[in-house]
């Protein structure tokens, strides 16, 4: 299992994909100042895939807001 922490200073438009190839869980956590706008945060079944997209960033580049898509639950 692994936890990926999303930094608060990622640029608007940043995106990354995730694939759950083996056993365990991939969990997405928001760092201080970052906000997950999805109601989901984990891949926990083999062969699931998902993506993260930063949809909004503050003018000071200290408050990333992101969405998770795909098989995140």
Question: Which is nearest to 25 in space by CA: 48, 5, 6, 7?
Answer: 48
- Please write the tens of the pLDDT for every residue from 12-58: 999 999 999 999 999 999 999 999 999 999 999 999 999 999 999 99
Positive or negative: CA dihedral 2, 67, 52, 19:
positive
pLDDT value at position 42? 97
pTM of the model: 0.93
pLDDT value at position 11? 97
pLDDT value at position 20? 94
């Amino acid at each position: 299992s692994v936890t990926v922490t999303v930094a608060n200073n990622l640029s608007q438009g940043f995106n990354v994909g995730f694939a759950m190839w083996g056993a365990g869980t991939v969990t997405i956590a928001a760092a201080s100042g970052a906000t997950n706008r999805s109601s989901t945060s984990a891949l926990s079944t083999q062969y699931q895939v998902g993506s993260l997209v930063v949809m909004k960033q503050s003018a000071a580049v200290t408050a990333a807001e992101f969405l998770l898509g795909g098989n995140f639950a």
